[in-house]
Amino acid sequence: MLVIEKLNSGYGKLHVLYDVSLTAKRKEITAVLGPNGAGKTTLLNSIFGLADIYSGSIELDDERLNKMPPHMISRRGVSYVFQLMNIFPNLTVEENLRLVARFSGMNHKDIENSLKEIYDLFPILKERRRQVAGTLSGGERQMLAISIGLIKRPRLLLLDEPTAGLAVRYVDMLIEKILEMKKTMDMIILLVEQNVHKALKIADKVYVLVSGRIIFEGTPSELVNKEDIAKMYLGVG
Amino acid sequence: MIETLISGITYSSLLSLMALGITLLYRTTKVPNFAHASFVVFGIYTSYTLALLGYNPYLGTLLGFIVSGIIALILFYALLEPLRRRKSSIFILMMATLTYDILMFGIINIYADYLQTTFKIPARNVYLAPQDFTLIGLKGVTIVSTSLLIVLLMLLYILLNRTIIGAALRAVMENPSLAQANGINVSLMLALSWFLAGGLAGVAGALLPMYMMTDPSTGMLLIAPMFCASILGGLEQIYGAPLGGFILGLATTVLVSWLSGVIGYWIMTYSLMVPYITLIVTLIFIPRGVVSIILKR
Amino acid sequence: MFDVIILFITDLLAFFGIYLMLNTALNIERGYAGIPNFGLLFSYAGGAYITGHLTAKIAILLTGAKVEADPITQPVSALMVLNPILASNPLISITLLIIILLIGASFGALLGLIQLGPAIRLREDYLAITLLALGEVMNYIAIAYKPFINGSLGVQVPDVFSWIGSRYRFYLATGIILLIAFILYIYAEFLGRTPLGRAMKAIRENEIAAVSLGKSLTRYRAIAMIIGSAFTGVAGSLWTLYSGAITPTLQRFDWTFLPWLMIFLGGIGNNLGVALGTFIFVLINRLIIFNKHLLAGVLPFDIVWFDYISLGLIMGLILIYRPQGILPEKPYIPKNIRRKIVVSRSQE
Ligand SMILES: Nc1ncnc2c1ncn2[C@@H]1O[C@H](COP(=O)(O)OP(=O)(O)OP(=O)(O)O)[C@@H](O)[C@H]1O
Ligand SMILES: [Mg+2]
């Protein structure tokens, strides 16, 4: 379980998040929604040790993550799929995956198994495994980015707008895949999404972040009933 | 003519070792290292000191690797890493390497003064060629510099492509934040690249006094050729550096010597200008280096 | 004692003036247009050496004096003829000075163009590499090409200040240096407020946006580099005229690194800050050099190297702890707009 309590964070003097508290459970998708610049990415950055934390705590299965450098957090089983620049563009698809797997300290057998799992989830990546990652299409690239996050079988997967800028068919497919991941893999998924409709369809729990503050917490259906919030900040309802 | 060619190959090998480090650092830290010449000069004084103490100056290649590697590490940890943490711009990082070059120039000169008073020798003219050995008609420095270049290139290739640390280094070159996100200690990898690059410059420096007259300001003479070789090969391509090193090295020696036969001896005086002209021509016509042309085919 | 103090102050002010010109130039290049000019030495040495090469020749033309000796290779005999004529003829001396300064400026500007030409469209780092590399060239040319300034021996130049009397010669020279430095400073400050200057700064702030605006990036960079290098060339000319002689030994440390140190100290982009940084630095530096003899026995090495190390350390500390300098740059808002802001605030 990921538990964040009264988190205040930002970048240097720029205070972005104010008293953010959030809980995300295993085998659930927790979605964080909000307008541009609300601080969604900053929330993920804070969890991953990439922002400055002024106060509050972040705990993963009762272990404090604050103050740890990113590479240590990564070794604690946290994967962060960035919004942009989330692949190694000059390596092939398989090199991307193997490289990351090797750093997670998995043994040879685990790597092969994990690789097979990923190719089962995204068959297209298996077809493209010898292709240089920089030449993949936008959707394929995003699948590779998520696979890079999955290959080490994380406890916590942070996804930052995985469907942003993709063609509709890819959006639907990726959303399906995320749902499938939740069912087959034992992990906490924290999903930041602009695509509110799609996110609400698969999320178990939703947080709405506006100007660095949580203004709503509940299930997707509760959010849809709160018409004011849904309309004002998310443009739905 | 043959003699010029051999001398050209020696010079090219030394230049390649220097350019290799510049390119490596550019790939990992994204900064042109203006202190690189200082790393070379520390190599020069390492083998010179060994020679003064009665050891074989070729031991200087090994010791020079370590000395210059450490000098580079100090630059990294004392200046670049704190600046990187503060998210300083590339410009500030460049300024920092330039500053370190100035600092090291002061230190090496103090050391030269010290040698001068201790050993009562002119420590500002370092020339070890008279002590060099010859083997099957070849000068020792030619044999050692070319074979060391080949060996070190192979070792570098193995390190980068066959080991986990090398894989981490490549990941850092490709996408540092993603590398960090996947458990790679980026700062440690950058430090490693500085140690390696400093070390390579140290090896080149240790061999340099066998090839030519050197002194603390030899670094100033080397800046243009080193960067020219590195850019000529392509700053984005590690293995472009030796290619650039050989093109420039042979142009400065063989080509100029041939031209002096054709045009007149006066042109030799201007052989120093070759790197500058090459640098400018490269920047205008192939700013991404020769390798970029080869790869396009 | 009094004489010593006057001497110290004159020397201090001359250095301050020369460095103020260089640093203002650097500030136009870096602070306005974002050019990382690590090769300031190129146009500075260019101005200094061309002055060494031409002053005597032009003096011969102006005075019509019969000089048998070649002014480059036999400067002493040439000056024996020229200097007395110049000393008794203020008008010719001043004309000579003005001609030489114009030549220094145009030669500097030309060198600036040569330096920037190949790299003008390239990224900042490539630009920095080219500029740094070229910075070292001028000394090689001067050493290799004997007829320029007599190789490594250097040349002496006719004295354009001695007409005021040898007693006041240095005061006059210093005064002229300060006057020119002041004019250039005012011009730089004025430039910063013109649309041209503001366009340059806008480009520096956001290179990517500026590139998307098309050619303007290269144009503004070229303009800034030409103006800056012209200033630098003038500074080089004055240095040679002030010293009375020049050898091809101008160093990157003194004429590139120290100017950078001073503009970092004062605050890049802010002319007043740069002037302040220059003054503070030159004052401390001259005090140390003036009292150098006190340290001479203490240190087991030449004190010059101590400069390299201490100033290198100071620069490192500035870069880490205060890269914006003593007086950070303030965005300049034109008066009419400032008034509008005040009005709109009071209406809120
Ligand atoms: N690395 C950074 N350094 C400094 N400030 C940052 C950084 N990243 C984001 N910010 C600032 O923090 C604030 C919140 O940005 P954040 O990226 O967290 O928003 P977001 O909700 O992810 O927006 P979007 O939907 O556009 O991705 C913004 O004002 C942004 O400018
Ligand atoms: Mg975001």
Of the residues A120, A153, A186, which one is the last residue of a structural domain? A153
Q: Does B74 touch chain C (CB under 8 A)?
A: no
Query: Is residue A112 situated within a structural domain?
Result: yes
The SS3 of residue C87 is helix
Q: How far apart are CA C198 and CA C202, in angstroms?
A: 6
Q: Do the Cβ atoms of B185 and A71 come within 8 Å? A: yes
Token output for B36: 């690189």
Facing C118 at nearest CB: one of B90, B228, B284: B284
Nearest atom of ligand 1 to the alpha carbon of A38: 21
Residues A209 and A165 in one domain: yes
Q: How far is CA C245 from CA B284, C150, C159, C249, in A?
A: 37, 12, 10, 12
Task: Note the pLDDT of residue A31.
Answer: 95
Q: Give the tens place of pLDDT for each residue, C129-179.
A: 999 998 888 998 999 888 999 988 999 999 999 888 888 888 999 999 999
By C-alpha distance, the chain A residue nearest B166 is A99
Q: How far apart are CA C331 and CA A163, in angstroms?
A: 40
Residues A26 and A69 in one domain: yes
Task: Give the distance from residue B69's alpha carbon to the nearest chain C alpha carbon, in angstroms.
Answer: 20
Mean pLDDT of chain C: 87
* Interval between CA A209 and ligand 1 midpoint (Å): 13
pTM of the model: 0.89
User: What's the whole-number mean pLDDT along residues B265-271?
Assistant: 77
Per-domain residue ranges for chain C?
A: 2-251
C113: chain B residues, CB-CB within 8 Å = none
pLDDT over threshold 80, residue B269: no
By C-alpha distance, the chain A residue nearest B237 is A90
pLDDT over threshold 70, residue B127: yes
Of the residues A128, A153, A178, which one is the last residue of a structural domain? A153
CB B216 within 8 A of CB B109: yes
> Measuring CA to CA, which residue among B72, B62, B145 is closest to residue B104?
B72
Residues A55 and A97 in one domain: no
φ, ψ at C145 (rounded to 5°): -95, 90
- State the angle between helix axes of B140-162 and B2-29 in degrees (0 to 180), rounded to the nearest 10: 30
Q: Which ligand is nearest to the CA of A36?
A: 1
Q: Does C308 touch chain B (CB under 8 A)?
A: yes
Task: Note the pLDDT of residue C336.
Answer: 57
Task: Note the pLDDT of residue C346.
Answer: 46
Q: What is the ipTM of this complex?
A: 0.92
By C-alpha distance, the chain B residue nearest C311 is B103
Q: Which ligand is nearest to the CA of A82?
A: 2
Residues A30 and A141 in one domain: no
Residues A73 and A171 in one domain: yes
Residue C297's identity, in one-letter code, is G
pLDDT over threshold 50, residue A86: yes
Chains that touch A (3 or more CB pairs under 8 A): B
Q: How far apart are CA B144 and CA C144, in angstroms?
A: 32
Task: Give the distance from residue B139's alpha carbon to the nearest chain C alpha carbon, in angstroms.
Answer: 29
Residues A162 and A225 in one domain: yes
Q: Which ligand is nearest to the CA of A209?
A: 1
Task: Give the distance from residue C309's alpha carbon to the nearest chain B alpha carbon, in angstroms.
Answer: 5
By C-alpha distance, the chain C residue nearest B219 is C136
Give how far the C-alpha of residue A199 lies from the chain's centroid of Cα atoms, to the nearest Å: 12
Q: Does B185 touch chain A (CB under 8 A)?
A: yes
Nearest atom of ligand 1 to the alpha carbon of A194: 25
Nearest residue by C-alpha to atom 18 in ligand 1: A39
What range does the domain containing A202 cover? 2-77+154-234
Q: Which residues are bridge partners to A22 per DSSP?
A: A4
Of the residues A129, A153, A177, which one is the last residue of a structural domain? A153
Cβ of A93: how many Cβ atoms within 10 Å? Answer: 29
Structural domain count, chain A: 2
Query: Is residue A82 situated within a structural domain?
Result: no
Q: How far apart are CA C154 and CA C138, in angstroms?
A: 13
Task: Give the distance from residue A205's alpha carbon to the nearest chain B alpha carbon, in angstroms.
Answer: 26
Task: Note the pLDDT of residue C208.
Answer: 58
Least confident of A102-116, B48-62, B123-137, C284-298: C284-298
Residues A142 and A183 in one domain: no
Task: Note the pLDDT of residue C347.
Answer: 45
pLDDT over threshold 60, residue C323: yes
> Measuring CA to CA, which residue among A153, A133, A6, A18 is closest to residue A66?
A6
How deeply is A64 buried, as exposed, middle or buried, from its count of CB atoms within 10 A (0-12, 13-18, 19+)?
exposed
Ion ligand 2: residues, Cβ under 5 Å: A 41
